Structure formats: structure tokens, C-alpha cells
Amino acid sequence: QLTMSLNSSTLLNEENGQGAKRNTECLGNLLQTPSSFQDNPLQQLQLASQEVLEKAKKSGRSKCPRCSSSRMFYCYTCFVPVETVPTTEIPTVKLPLKIDIIKHPNETDGKSTAVHAKLLAPDDVTIYKYPCIPEYGEKRHEIALIFPGPNSVSVKDIAFHLQKYTKKGVCASDDDCSREPLLKQAKIEPEEEKNPNECIRSEGTRLKKIIFIDSTWNQTNKIITDERLQGLLQIELKTRKTCFWRHQKGKPDTYLSTIEAIYYFLVDYHQEILKESYKGQYDNLLFFFSFMYTLIKDAKCCAGKE
């Protein structure tokens, strides 16, 4: 059974227009007011110093070093920090696998958190604007898609299911794959005759790329039904509450923004698949998100919304 409230992990929620206007007006006052981290659910993160963002906030908008557009903190079209935010003062996160983000063409660039991933993990993240996306068919055995669905599996079960996606076991028909992904067609490789637990871990580490869709819920259908994504293993995330400030009215608070989904997936992957203790290795993926969360939370308080 599909439970969207639990598994809709990469959907960006649309912002209430009136609230946005109030927030914008209030942000002017916040440029001169120290941010408060009281009641911040993200305050336990192990983050690099955000002093550079504090300084940039006080300076106001700055130019993008590439396109010269006026931006705050970073350019969401060029994927680089603005002139008042030196790249050397921005943390870099090394990820255990590659990430492709497929962005809906109608998704507003300035509202998307996908750019955070590209800014903070530039060597491991690629952003594509639909319909210009890669062909994934030949590498189904090492790629998974974060998206809810009746055949979605949990992170801890990735290893088991990837065994069915070996190169020799990929079925020729996308329709057959989407209905029952290789459950009958998979061929067992020699190493699978070893101890089952050892085999599962070995196969699990073969995951090389994870795909996220950067879109509002109502826009996802066109992308998820694209034939290039059919037959991929689909992953669901554990239930977590979003801190995203553009929460869509009437939707559960378990709908995560893209950067939150990426972060939580990696935490689960680190613990469930790599079998390593998590010590904040990916916390800096929320470097911009946590700062903006506090900034906008204070703006809402200032506007009398909370």
C-alpha cells in the first residue's frame, strides 16, 4: 500500500504567497538582528562555522561571480556562492556514492533546495533539468531511485534487492521490470553462494548512484513515468518531519525538501548499508538549509505567524 505521508521524500512544497510577502518584509529587520537558535530542531547538527553566512546576511544581496545576477548567499542558476561568500569558507562534503537530481522544468529555481547539494558536494552531485536526463537502463544493477511506490523498499533492504539487478539479470522489457522488477529473471552470481549475510553486504556496496526528483508533488507524475526511469529499484525513507519553510497547505509534515531527503538517505545508508557509526559526516549538507531555516523562522515570528 502506498503511504504518501511516509514516503514522499523528495517533494518540494509550494509556498503560501501572503506569508512569503510578510517574511520578505521582516527579513529587512533581521539583517540587523542576531539569529536565535532557540527551539531550532537542527541545532544538534555538527556544522562548519556559519559566520560567513552571518556576514553575508548583514551585507545583503551580492553578485554571482559567473552571471553577475544579484543573489543572497548563492546563485541558484550557476550553483556557486556569491561574491560575499568565499568558496574557501564553505564546507565540502564527500559522499559515499554519486547523486543525480532530476529537476522539473517548472520548479522555481529560487525555491529549490537541490542547489544546496551541488554547492556542498560538487564532486558527487549532478543536477539535470527534465527532460534532459541520462539513460539509466544499462546500469540498473547499481542505481536506485528515491520515490514512494507499491514496490518501494527500505534502505536496509537495498542490498537484498540489488542482487536481482545484476547485469545479466536485467530484463529487456521496461513494462515487465516496472511490474515485478527482476524477481524471476535474476541470475545468481557465484559469490551469492557464500554466507548470505556476507553476500548481502557485498552486493549492497555495489550501489553507485541514487536519483532524487526535485519537484512539487503535483509535478512528479510526468517525471516518474518517464521510460528512462522504469525498472529502477525504488527506495522509501523512514518517517521524518520536515523543517522546510515552504510547507504545502494540507500536506503532512513528513513531506521532505530535496536536501533533507538527500541528507536523511545518506544517514540511513551509512548506518544500514555501510554498517558504520554515524558521527555527523554528512551534517554539512544542511549548512545553508539550517541557516535559512533559522532566518525564516525568525521572520515568521517577527511577522506574527508563530
Residue 37 domain-assigned (yes or no): no
Q: Is the pLDDT of residue 130 over 90?
A: yes
What average pLDDT is seen over the chain?
A: 76
Instruction: Indicate whether 48 belongs to any domain.
Output: no
Q: How confident is the model at residue 294 (pLDDT cuts 50, 70, 90)?
A: confident
Q: Can you give the three-state secondary structure of 70-122, one letter per residue?
A: EECCEECCCCEECCCCCHHHCCCCCCCCEEEEEECCCCCHHHCCHHHHHHHCC
Residue 251 pLDDT: 60
Owning domain of residue 107: 91-166+204-243+254-303
Could you read off the pLDDT of 230-268 as tens digits, one per residue? 999 999 987 787 776 665 565 656 678 899 999 999 999
Number of structural domains (the chain) is: 1
Question: pLDDT per residue over 59-69, tens digit each?
Answer: 999 999 999 99
Which is more confident, 164 or 45? 45
Residue 79 inside a domain? The answer is no
pLDDT at 184: 32
What is the reported pLDDT for 24?
35
Q: What is the pLDDT of residue 41?
A: 66
Residue 127 located in a structural domain: yes
- At 250 the pLDDT is 58
**CA R_g for the chain:** 20
Q: For the residues 44-58, what does the mean pLDDT come to?
A: 95
Q: Give the pLDDT score at 201.
A: 43
Assess if residue 157 is contained within a domain: yes
pTM value? 0.74
Q: What is the pLDDT of residue 305?
A: 57
Residue 35 clears pLDDT 90, i.e. is over it? no
Distance separating alpha carbons of residues 300 and 293, to the nearest angstrom: 11
